[in-house]
Amino acid sequence: MKKQASRAVLAFCLTALILAASTAAHGAAKPTERSKQKASAEATRAGIQQKLSTLKRDISRTESEKENAADTLAESEEAISDANRALRDLAAEQGGTNARLRELETAQEKLAATIAAQKKQLASLLREHYKAGNEDRIKLLLSGDNPNRINRDLQLMAYVSQAQARLLASLRGNLLAVETNREQTQNAKDELEEIGAEQQQQKAVLETEKIRRAAQLSSVSSKLAVQRKEVGNLERDEQRLAGLVDKLTRLIQEQAEAAAAEQRRLAVVAAARARAEAEAKALADARKKAARERLAREAAKPVPKPKPGEPKPAFKPDPIDADEPKVAAKPATPQPDPAAARPADIALAPTGTDGAFASLRGQLRPPVAGRVAAKFGAKREGVTWKGVFIKAAAGAEVSALADGRVVYAGWQRGMGNLIVVSHGSNYLAVYANNETLLKRVGAAVKAGDPIATVGNTGGNEESGLYFEIRHMAKPLDPASWIKF
Strand 379-380 relative to strand 416-422, pairing: unpaired
Which pLDDT score is estimated for 451? 97
455: enclosing H helix or E strand: none
- Tens digits of residue pLDDT in 235-283: 888 888 999 999 999 998 888 888 888 889 999 999 999 999 999 999 9
**Kind of pairing between the strands at 383-384 and 416-422:** unpaired
Give me the chain's average pLDDT, please: 80
pLDDT tens for each residue of 364-414: 999 999 999 999 999 887 789 999 999 999 999 999 999 999 999 999 988
Residues 224, 413: Cα–Cα separation, whole Å: 12
The pLDDT score that the predictor gives to residue 313 is 56
Q: Looking at this protein, which amino acid is placed at residue 227?
A: Q
Q: What is the rounded CA–CA span in Å between residue 93 and residue 87?
A: 10
Q: Which distant-in-sequence residues (6+ apart) come within 8 Å of 62 by Cβ?
A: 243
What is the per-residue pLDDT for 303?
60
Q: What's residue 121's pLDDT?
A: 84
Q: How many other CB atoms are there within 10 angstroms of residue 71's CB atom?
A: 13
Kindly tell me the sign of the dihedral angle through the C-alpha atoms of 430, 433, 434, 440. Answer: positive
What is the band of 328 on the pLDDT scale with cuts at 50, 70, 90? Answer: very low
Does the pLDDT of residue 17 top 60, yes or no? no
Say what the pLDDT of residue 318 is. Answer: 47
pLDDT score at 475: 95
How distant, in Å, are the alpha carbons of 166, 191, 213, 482 from that of 474?
Answer: 69, 46, 34, 17
Indicate whether this model's pTM tops 0.75: no
pLDDT digits (tens, 9 = 90+) for 20-68: 444 444 444 567 777 766 676 666 667 666 766 776 666 555 554 445 6
Please give the C-alpha separations between residue 219 and each of 6, 42, 186, 213, 416, in angstroms, as whole numbers. Answer: 90, 35, 50, 10, 18
| Per-residue confidence band for 327, with pLDDT thresholds at 50, 70 and 90 | very low
**8 Å CB contact between 457 and 67:** no
Q: How far apart are CA 478 and CA 470, in angstroms?
A: 9
Inform me whether the pLDDT recorded for 312 exceeds 80: no
> H-helix or E-strand containing 64?
none
